[in-house]
Structure 1
Amino acid sequence: MRRPDGSPSLQRLKRRAGVFVRMRRALRWFPPMLADVVRGRYRPVPWPALGWMLAALVYLLSPLDLVPDMLLALGLMDDAVIVGWLLTRVDRALEDYRVFRGERDAAPR
């Protein structure tokens, strides 16, 4: 069985790695965006980004989960998956802000 560079498993791995990039980028850009919004430097307010981040925080802090944390590995994995998905939504909502700041990584990967 040959595995060229364009193999489906390699492409799937690259896509999943992209999720981590988006999560890290959302966490990196959210605090400066929030500071710029509060100081009035950035308008319009990116309400979707604020909503998605609030949802992620509420889910993390809430005692109610899809899978209880008492089931250690599964409980923590469901938190990671759901919060990760929410952070990718935050990243998408911050694209206009990154363009506003003139950053080179403004386009989604």
Structure 2
Amino acid sequence: MALFSEQAAEAQLNNEAERICEDDLESLLKRQEAIEAKVKGSGRLRRFSIDIKLMFSLIRDYWKGQYRAVPWKTIAAVAGALLYVLNPLDLIPDVIFGIGFIDDAGVIALCLKLVESDLHKYGAWKELAEESKCEARPN
């Protein structure tokens, strides 16, 4: 028997995402350092650190109005997953040695699976936007 199933991850992600509103994004962005520190300190979550940075970048650009070519359900899922990671008393409390981050990793993995296409499109947009900035700078 698995400690944390994909169905449990989906239920947790849906629960978090349903509660997200646009006003929550600023608060989430202020918690980025805390979430990244938690990810860095967990072996199970550490493998998602690059994805989590991209997720925060997407949220930031959406919040600033710089990137809106993404459905709200993607933004809500990403924000919900990130907030779930921050919660120490989630489905499997983080203080339980050895298994406390299994649910966090499951929720992040499921979120990435669900928003993969939108995240790839955003990553490509971000790369082009950064290239354009570099080309626009005088030498």
In the superposition, the TM-score normalised over structure 1's length comes to 0.48
In the superposition, the TM-score normalised over structure 2's length comes to 0.41
Larger Rg: 1
